[in-house]
Structure 1
Amino acid sequence: MTERTGHDEERTFAALAPVRGGGFARTWWGRAWLKALEDAALDGQQVKVGRRLARAGAVGAVSVRPGRVTAVVQDRDGTGHRADVLLQELSGEHWDRLLDMAVERAGHVAALLDREMPPHLVEDAATAGVELLPGLGDLEAECDCGAWDHCGHTAALCYQVARLLDQDPFVLLLMRGRTERALLDELHVRGTVSAAGGEEAMNDLRSSLADSHRDGVDAAEAFAAGEVLPPLPEPPPLPMEPGLPPSLDAETTPAPGLDPTALEFLAAQTALEAHRLLAEALHPGHEQQPLGDELPFHQDVVRLAAGAPGTSIAERLGDGSGRGREGLALAVRAWRYGGAAGLAVLDEEWHVPAESLARARAAVETAWEEGERPSLRSAHNRWTVVGGSAQLRLGRDGRWWPYRKERGRWAPAGPAAHDPATALAAVAGGPDI
C-alpha cells in the first residue's frame, strides 16, 4: 500500500513482508541499484548484515521523496534506527534533455506506463548526458547509529528500495526529482510530432497519457505508434567482466540436498560462459562461423572443476567424473594448459598415420643440433625420453605437448608448442636431458 502526501512530492510505502528465499531484485534496474550499493560499500560484511535485516522484514515503512529515501530499521534486539539514503537530484537542464528525448520515443513512455524501465531509455538518457541509474558512490548513507559509511541499516534500506523499484520504476524518477504526475503532465505539454510523421499515432499516445497513467497503453495503440519509434540500436558493447550472480547467503537453513555454495559456483560459471559466448557473438564475422559442438559431459565436468574455488567443489566433481580425485586433478591441469585439445591429449593414445609420423620424425630430427638430440622411444603418439621422466605427446593438430612423470603417472607439464624441442625444454630444462 502506498500513501501520497504533499502534492505527490513524497510517497510512503508500507513495510514489506519478509523475503522467503530468492533474491531482492527481479528486474535489471533493481539489480543495477543494488550493484551501486555493493560496489561502493567499504565494508562488505555490513552489506551482508543489511541483506539479512531486509530479508527478515526489519525495514519499516519507506518514505521516498526527491533526493532521499528514509525508513526505520530495527536491529535484532529491537532497537530502531533511522536510516537515510541520498541520491543526487537531476538538474533542470538534465530534466529538459530527458523529457525532450522521451517525447521523441513513444516506446519509452509506453514502457514506463507499464511499470517497465526499458534499457534503451537509460542508454538514450546517458547519450543525452543524463544518468538515471545510480553508479559507483552515488548512494550516500546517513544513519543515527553513527556510521560514516553504509551500515547494516542503510544497506537494509537499499535492499528494500530494490524491491520497490521492481514494482514501480517511477520510484527512481521521484528520487531524481520528479513525481509521476508531474512527469506525465510535462510529457503531455511537450508532446509534439517528430519530423518523421505519425501525427495520429502520437495523438493517440498523448490521449492515453492525459486520460490514465495507470492502465498502460493498449496493444493496438503501441503497435500504431511504431512508426515514430527509432531504428534498432547498434549491438551493445561487451561488458568489461561477467555479471555477478546474486548471493545465496541467508539465515534460512537450506532444504535437504541443496548446497548454496555449489549453486553460487554454478551461477558464476554460467555468467563466465555467457560472457565468453557474447564476446564471440560480437566479434566481426561471427555470423559466418559454424556452430560449435557442445562439450560432452566428461569434458564439461573438467571445465567446471578448473574454475572451482578451493577443493571441496572440485572433490565433489571428481567423485562424479569417473576419474577419481587424482585423475580429475590431472585433467584440470591439462584443461588449463590447452582446453579441450589439451584434455584430448591426456586421454587419447592414437595410432599416428604414416605420413604424419614421417613429419613428426623430421621435426624431431631437425629440432636439435647433431649430438644434442635426446634419445626418444616412440609408441603411437607418445615419445618418451629414454631413461628420463619426460615425455612428448603429439596432438592431432600436429602440436607437441610436454609431460612429466610424477608419482608414477604422466602429468601435463605445460602448453603445446609447434616445435618438439621447445615443448621438451618446458619439462626437461632444454637439450641436457
Structure 2
Amino acid sequence: MSDWYGGFPKPSKPIRVEGGIKARSKRGEIAQTWWSRRFIEVLESFGMGGRLQRGKNYARAGQVLNLSLSTSVVVGLVQGSRPQPYRARIGIKALSSAEWDQVERALAGQALYAAKLLAGEMPQDIEDVFAELGLELFPTTMRELTMDCSCPDWEIPCKHLAATCYLLAESFDADPFQILAWRGRSREELLDRLRTLRGTTAGPAAEQPTGPEPLSASLETFWTAPEPPAPPPTTGTTAPDAILDELDPLPVKIGDDSAVDLLRPAYRAMTAPE
C-alpha cells in the first residue's frame, strides 16, 4: 500500500517507544532561558513557526530516541510511523580557529563576560561581542542552516526535524556551552583559553610585601603595655674588683701588702648580694 496520497504522505501515527528523550516542558513554550528562546525565535523568523509546532508533540511524547551534538552537526534519531527510526540532521557552519581566537580575546578582555562564562553562565549580550567582530552566534538566514531527514516528507523542517530542534533548545537550557560547541568550541577549550588569556593558569603568585597589620587583627593586645626590652646578653661573669686591675700599680704599701690588695675585699663587699 502506498504511503502517499495526492502528492502528500498519508497521515499516520508514530510507533510509541519506551525510554525516548522527553521534553521537560509539558505545555506552553519549551525553551526556558534567553539563549534557547533566541534559538527558537531565529527558527520561527524563517517562517518555520507552524512547522516547528508539529514537532512539539513528538518531543513531549519521547519519540526522539537519541540526540547527539558535535561541531557543526546535530543528529536526532526519531521514531516515526515506520519500524526504522528516521535520522534528522541539522547543520551549521563552525567558526574558524582564527575567528574563535578573536572571540576569545574579546571575551577575555571584558571581566564581566569572562567571569560569567567561567561561572557556567551565558552573558546576556554575548551576541554583541560576536557582532562587533562581524561574526554571528546564532544563524540569521536560512542559508546558514542545513536540514535533512530520512523520512519521506518533503517539507523542511518535517515533524522529526522540528522535534529535534525543540530538544536541542532544551539541551541549550541545560548547558549553554552546547551552543558554542555547535559553533566549534567546546566548554573545556573555551574556558582553558579564557583562563590563559586572563593569566589565571600561572603557578602560585609570588609573595607580595604585606602592609601593617590591621587593627582588627590585634584588638586583644592593642591596649596592653609592651613587654620591656630584654637585657643585653652576657658572655660571662665579671669580678667586681676587676676594675682595680685596670689601674696602674699604686706605689703605696701598708705593711707588706699593696694598697690594691687591701681594697679588693671592700669592692667585693659592696657588690655582694644581700
Q: Normalization by structure 2: what TM-score?
A: 0.60
Structure 2 CA distance for aligned equivalents of residues 179 and 148 of structure 1 = 32
| CA displacement 1:317-352 (0-9 Å, x = unmatched) | xxxxxxxxxxxxxxxxxxxxxxxxxxxxxxxxxxxx
What's 2:165 paired with? 158
Q: 2:137 aligns with which of 120, 132, 136?
A: 132
Alignment partner of 1:94 is 2:99: yes
How do 1:27-426 and structure 2 match up within 5 A?
27-41=33-47, 44-75=49-80, 80-137=85-142, 138-146=144-152, 147=154, 149-192=156-199, 203=200, 206=201
Contact 1:16 1:57 in 2 (8 A): yes
Bigger-Rg structure (1/2): 2
One-letter amino acid matched to 1:35? E
What's 1:383 paired with? none
One-letter amino acid matched to 2:186? T
Contact 1:41 1:47 in 2 (8 A): no
Structure 2 CA distance for aligned equivalents of residues 157 and 169 of structure 1 = 17
Q: Normalization by structure 1: what TM-score?
A: 0.39
Change (3 A) 1:55 1:97: same
Contact 1:71 1:83 in 2 (8 A): yes
Structure 1 CA distance for aligned equivalents of residues 52 and 179 of structure 2 = 21
Structure 1 CA distance for aligned equivalents of residues 42 and 146 of structure 2 = 10
| CA displacement 1:287-325 (0-9 Å, x = unmatched) | xxxxxxxxxxxxxxxxxxxxxxxxxxxxxxxxxxxxxxx
Change (3 A) 1:18 1:128: closer
Structure 2 CA distance for aligned equivalents of residues 32 and 151 of structure 1 = 21
Please report how far the alpha carbon of residue 189 of structure 1 lies from its aligned counterpart in structure 2 after TM superposition: 2.7
Structure 2 CA distance for aligned equivalents of residues 70 and 154 of structure 1 = 9
Q: 1:26 aligns with which of 28, 32, 44?
A: 32
Identity %, equivalent residues: 33
Contact 2:127 2:136 in 1 (8 A): yes
Structure 2, unpaired ranges of 5+: 1-19, 203-274
Structure 1 CA distance for aligned equivalents of residues 78 and 175 of structure 2 = 22
Contact 1:41 1:149 in 2 (8 A): no
Contact 1:19 1:56 in 2 (8 A): no
One-letter amino acid matched to 2:58? L
Structure 1, unpaired ranges of 5+: 1-13, 193-202, 208-433
What's 2:221 paired with? none
Contact 1:36 1:139 in 2 (8 A): no
Structure 1 CA distance for aligned equivalents of residues 77 and 96 of structure 2 = 29
Structure 2 CA distance for aligned equivalents of residues 180 and 152 of structure 1 = 30
Contact 1:33 1:133 in 2 (8 A): yes
Contact 1:19 1:55 in 2 (8 A): yes
Larger RCO: 1 or 2 (CA < 8 Å, sep 6+): 2
Change (3 A) 1:174 1:124: same
Please report how far the alpha carbon of residue 115 of structure 1 lies from its aligned counterpart in structure 2 after TM superposition: 3.2
Change (3 A) 1:88 1:159: same
Structure 1 CA distance for aligned equivalents of residues 75 and 167 of structure 2 = 11
One-letter amino acid matched to 2:172? L
Contact 2:104 2:194 in 1 (8 A): yes
Change (3 A) 1:175 1:18: same
